[in-house]
Amino acid sequence: MNTDPLLTVTDFSVVYDVDPPVEAVSDVSFTLHRGEILGLAGESGCGKTSLAYGVQRLLRPPAVIPSGHAVFHDESGEDVDIAALSESEMRRFRWDKASMVFQGAMNALNPVTKIGKQLGDVFETHRPGMSRAERTRECGELLDLVGVGRERLRSYPHELSGGMRQRVMIAMALALKPQLMIMDEPTTALDVLVQREILQQISELRTQFGFSVIFITHDLPLLLEISDRIAVMRQGRIVELDTAWNIYHHAQHEYTRTLLGSFPSLTGERGGFVRGRGDDVSAGAGAAGGGVR
Amino acid sequence: MRFFLRRTAFYLFTAWAAITINFFLPRMMKGDPVSAYLAKNQGKVSPEAAASLRTLFGLDEDRSLFQQYLDYWGLMLHGDLGRSFSKGLAPVGDVIAVALPWTLGLVGIATILSFFLGSSIGAVVGWRRGSAADAVVPVATFMSTVPYFWMGLIAIAVFSSALGWFPASHAYSKGASPEWSWEFAWDVVQHGTLPALTIVVASLGGWVLGMRNMLITVLDEDYVTVAQAKGLSPRRVLSGYASRNAVLPQLSSFALSLGFIVGGTLVMELVFSYPGVGKLLLDATNAKDYPLMQGLFLVITLSVLVANILADVAHAALDPRTRMTEA
Amino acid sequence: MTTLEFRHVSKRYTVRGAGDLLALDDVTFTLTSGRTIALVGQSGSGKSTIAKILTQLERATSGAILLDGAPVPRRGRALRRYRQQVRMVFQDPFASLNPYHTIRHHLERPLLLDHVVPKDEVDDEVHRLLDRVHLDAAVVDRRPHELSGGQRQRVAIARALASRPSLLVADEPVSMLDVSIRLGVLNLLAELQHASNLGVLYITHDLATARHFSDEIMVLHHGRVVEHGAADDVILDPQHPYTRALRDASPNPEVHFSGAGPAADASRSRP
């Protein structure tokens, strides 16, 4: 695996300035390698989404970034301090260098505009030199690439199934061939069969185009299968960051072990619980720390 | 296509229902407003006029109900709404036709202007929430609660009496007669500016607030975040993504307000002595001019219907999801 | 011992303008006290329809539903009694509790409505129910929004148990909960089932928990039962291609890692 750094995040923090203030992300540091799939695992409230949005400056008030750096090492050799970019520079950076696939494509597509137009306005904004014919051709190719088919350029979002909408989101994120794709629970709402297809697709595209992926989800078994490395987050901090293999076989942190134990094995031995025993094993396997959650 | 056919059938049915109810109303009223008048003015009323009045008001009991109904439809299709008692027995249709353009023109243009201006301001204010633009909100709220007649009178006092910029009343200068000429058109515009402006100012606040609130709701939607993440310019996000969706519910309100145009802005017409439909209705009521009143009710009903059709069409054009659910 | 039988049940919905939708097609199974059946299916498979029919929120178009051999009543007191016997736990812990009322109210209602215990014992019974689901007694005067998702789901389970049912339908009971507390709630259901000899229908899309939590698994696909057998058999040796596809598509790190890297070491870091 290539260890060339693509993104270096140092001491990154995100605070929600409410009363009392909420520290969503606390001093997080990690390095993303070029072409790597980094899984970001954690439960709701652990800060993984705030971290992903924060690094791209997509957070809205009352979220504040009190400290930390995110440096993007462009393939041209230039180092870009994302926080230092101006508004218009940031807009140019967006989607071109790093794009995002959002959760629940239910609502992530504009319901009143055609798919083709939503794909197209990326080109209109970032590649103003393209003619309309070129744009249409490019958008059609993108849809073919993800398996939706170019005939869907003229469809509206509500005419597509959930799986197809998610593929459209992936096509859209791929449009400018970015170097980094951040995916926030991209397959959570989908059927397990569709999920497998989409994951395969992402893998193939990664091999073809060489981009890095930060894959955010709570589904640890899924991450174990597709990630090169996994970062486990809890209460705003990364508690463990290691290769998928190591995490599966030698998880160091207790929380990682708890999380692993929450997913009973499909075909192997029974995991965190045994039926019919009658004794309460929930305190051991389930809840982290005493008490009932 | 099925969507449109379904809607058209629905509206035709509603129109038929409105006209039929109009047929039954006088027949369900106690007493009879027309016989006395006819008796008093026997010489002045022509036989056809008397016949149509009888049909319209259910006095032709010598004929079967079904026959009455057919006669009634005959009148409707000829545009014969009877004769106006208070306007010297002129055909009601003609009387309304004189007043209608003034109302439609002035109030129509003012309402449309107010909607577009208000929605645009509201969109910008909603987009810039948290900034100085928020000061618009209390101003808009205030404007939407000010009593119209007071605003109208102040406007006349300031802009007409004191500054002399605009005439104080009527649709055109005394002595001028309506004609298609630039001078007349200019005269109309001069007379119409103040009433129109006051209507716009009075209703602006409601549109601003409505659009602002819708926009704030829409801004929380995922597709707006996606649009921003794509690096689109703020203007593009506002127009293509946020406003396009926020305006949809506003359209329904707009349709309703279009319907009320023909009802006329009575207060405005009183303050400015503007010869519109509202004033006509008020005068008819005071004079107990039943044919005119009934004719006006029918016209108002039908125009609300037309307004609804227009709003439906606009909604279907702007929101592709409606076409699917209705079909 | 109570049994609930579904015999050749079909459910047809008529959608205006789009023809008929066959949500269930000839579904047959038997739910017995003391045993858990998992109903596995993806969205649109018909599993929610089965849940709705079981709780009499919908009527089957054809087929029979028998409780202890007798057809399930359609109205009146007999239906009330059926509803006491067959209870449901819903998927969404946020939506199934009324935000306006305290937990005490939520638990008292079924007790009072079904006259489970005499009025003066209701308070004690409420505390007993909370104890059974391992919730602190202090919870009783709080409102749903003050509790976590896991706690709310436990309240929902307690409420379902209030009328002392013999059969429990759990419709995706943990899919909206945080990962690390899911097992806790499932363990609770297992424990309660054992203690009260409940029959449980566990509806889920997750094969792994279905296997571990149930005696039998039924796989539903487009309204038809394509496979039905002992839990381990269905997962480890599936007969139907759809079941096989489901199993192969589910994330399975064990299989994934068994070929890659150094020889599989016995020291698996699992509790």
Residue A214 φ then ψ, to 5°: -105, 115
Q: Enumerate the residues of chain A whose CB falls inside 8 A of the CB of residue C93.
A: none
Q: Do B221 and A112 touch (CB under 8 A)?
A: no
pLDDT band at B327 (very low <50, low <70, confident <90, very high): very low
Q: Which of A128, A157, A177 is the last residue of a domain?
A: A177
Transcribe A240-267 into DSSP letters.
EEEEHHHHHHH--SHHHHHHHHTS--SS
Give yes or no: residues A125 and A111 share one domain. Answer: yes
Residues 6 or more apart whose Cβ sits within 8 Å of residue C65: C4, C5, C6, C7, C9, C53, C54, C71, C72
Q: Do B244 and A109 touch (CB under 8 A)?
A: no
Give yes or no: residues A34 and A71 share one domain. Answer: yes
pLDDT (mean) for B100-119: 86
Number of domains in chain A: 2
Give yes or no: residues B249 and B170 share one domain. Answer: yes
Residues 6 or more apart whose Cβ sits within 8 Å of residue C251: A219, A221, A222, A224, A225
Q: How far is CA A65 from CA A24, A50, A61, A214, in A?
A: 10, 10, 10, 20
pLDDT band at C161 (very low <50, low <70, confident <90, very high): very high
Q: Flag whether B319 is in a domain.
A: yes
- Please report the pLDDT score of residue B264 as a whole number: 59
Residue C120 sits at the chain A interface (C-beta within 8 Å)? no
Q: Enumerate the residues of chain A whose CB falls inside 8 A of the CB of residue C246.
A: 192-193
Residue B229 sits at the chain A interface (C-beta within 8 Å)? yes
User: What is the C-alpha to C-alpha distance for residues B244 and B237, in angstroms, rounded to an integer?
Assistant: 10
The beta-carbon neighbor of C194 closest among A263, A272, A278 is A278
Measured between CA atoms, the residue of chain B closest to residue A92 is: B231
Q: Write down the residue that tokens 């993303």 correspond to.
A: A32
Give yes or no: residues B191 and B252 share one domain. Answer: yes
Closest CA to B259 of B191, B309, B217, B200: B309
Residue A99 sits at the chain B interface (C-beta within 8 Å)? yes
Give yes or no: residues A92 and A5 share one domain. Answer: yes
Give yes or no: residues A26 and A138 share one domain. Answer: no
Residue A154 sits at the chain B interface (C-beta within 8 Å)? no
Give yes or no: residues A66 and A199 share one domain. Answer: yes
Burial class (CB in 10 A: 0-12, 13-18, 19+), A6: buried
pLDDT at B5 over 70: yes
Q: Enumerate the residues of chain C whose CB falls inside 8 A of the CB of residue A104.
A: none
Domains of chain C by start residue, with CATH: 3-9+20-249 (3.40.50.300)
- Please report the pLDDT score of residue C10 as a whole number: 92
Q: Do A43 and C180 touch (CB under 8 A)?
A: yes
- CATH number for the domain spanning A216: value is 3.40.50.300
Pick A37 or A278 by higher pLDDT. Answer: A37
The beta-carbon neighbor of B226 closest among A93, A102, A159 is A102
User: What is the C-alpha to C-alpha distance for residues C222 and C244, in angstroms, rounded to an integer?
Assistant: 16
User: What is the C-alpha to C-alpha distance for residues B165 and B158, in angstroms, rounded to an integer?
Assistant: 9
Give yes or no: residues A182 and A79 share one domain. Answer: yes
User: What is the C-alpha to C-alpha distance for residues A12 and A23, in angstroms, rounded to an integer?
Assistant: 11
Encode burial over B8-39: b for 16+ CB neighbours within 10 A, e otherwise: eeeeeebeeebeeebbeebeeeeeebbeebbe
Transcribe B126-167 into DSSP letters.
HHTTTSGGGGHHHHHHHHHHS-HHHHHHHHIIIIIIIS--S-
Question: Domain range spanning residue B273?
Answer: 94-326
Q: Are C169 and C157 in contact (CB under 8 A)?
A: no
- Please report the pLDDT score of residue B315 as a whole number: 82
Q: Model confidence over A103-155: pLDDT tens digits? A: 766 788 998 999 999 999 999 999 989 999 999 999 999 999 888 888 989 99
The continuous run of DSSP H or E covering A67 comes out as strand A63-73
Q: How far is CA B172 from CA A215, B102, B191, in A?
A: 71, 11, 6
Residue A220 sits at the chain C interface (C-beta within 8 Å)? yes
Q: Model confidence over C71-117: pLDDT tens digits? A: 887 778 778 888 888 999 988 888 889 989 999 999 999 999 888 88
Give yes or no: residues A222 and A140 share one domain. Answer: no
Q: How far is CA A200 from CA A203, A204, A226, B32, C258, in A?
A: 5, 6, 9, 82, 19
Q: Enumerate the residues of chain A whose CB falls inside 8 A of the CB of residue B244.
A: 110, 112-113
Determine how β-strand A5-16 pairs with β-strand A63-73. Answer: antiparallel
Pick B163 or A250 by higher pLDDT. Answer: A250
Closest CA to C87 of C183, C192, C211: C192
- Interface test mutation site (partner C, options A159, A275, A281, max chain C beta carbons within 10 A): A275
Measured in whole angstroms, how far is the alpha carbon of residue A211 from the centre of its chain? 13
Q: Enumerate the residues of chain C whose CB falls inside 8 A of the CB of residue A253.
A: none
ipTM surpasses 0.85: no
Q: Enumerate the residues of chain A whose CB falls inside 8 A of the CB of residue B319.
A: 111-112
pLDDT at A280 over 90: no
Q: Model confidence over C232-265: pLDDT tens digits? A: 999 999 999 999 999 999 998 888 887 643 333 3
- Please report the pLDDT score of residue A274 as a whole number: 45
Closest CA to C156 of C180, C183, C189: C189
pLDDT band at B324 (very low <50, low <70, confident <90, very high): low
Give yes or no: residues A226 and A248 share one domain. Answer: yes
- Please report the pLDDT score of residue C259 as a whole number: 60
- CATH number for the domain spanning B142: value is 1.10.3720.10
- Please report the pLDDT score of residue B263 as a whole number: 63
CA distance C122 to chain A (A): 24
Q: Model confidence over A70-113: pLDDT tens digits? A: 999 998 888 999 988 998 899 889 899 999 998 766 788 998 99
Q: Are A14 and A50 in contact (CB under 8 A)?
A: yes
Give yes or no: residues A182 and A172 share one domain. Answer: no
User: What is the C-alpha to C-alpha distance for residues A174 and A209, in angstroms, rounded to an integer?
Assistant: 9
Pick A36 or B162 by higher pLDDT. Answer: A36
Mean pLDDT of chain C: 87
Give yes or no: residues A79 and A205 share one domain. Answer: yes
Q: How far is CA C97 from CA A255, C132, C151, in A?
A: 31, 19, 11
User: What is the C-alpha to C-alpha distance for residues A292 and C269, in angstroms, rounded to an integer?
Assistant: 24
Closest CA to C34 of A282, A277, A276: A276
Residue B136 sits at the chain A interface (C-beta within 8 Å)? no
Residue B240 sits at the chain A interface (C-beta within 8 Å)? yes
Q: Flag whether A262 is in a domain.
A: no
pLDDT at C128 over 90: yes
pLDDT band at C152 (very low <50, low <70, confident <90, very high): very high
User: What is the C-alpha to C-alpha distance for residues A20 and A37, in angstroms, rounded to an integer?
Assistant: 36
Transcribe C179-190 into DSSP letters.
HHHHHHHHHHHH
Q: What is the pTM of this model?
A: 0.78
Q: How far is CA C143 from CA A45, B152, B312, C157, C254, in A?
A: 22, 53, 44, 16, 42
Q: Are A230 and A217 in contact (CB under 8 A)?
A: no
Question: Domain range spanning residue A134?
Answer: 104-177
Strand order in the sheet with C36-40: C86-89, C167-171, C199-204, C36-40, C216-221, C224-230
Q: Do A111 and B130 touch (CB under 8 A)?
A: no
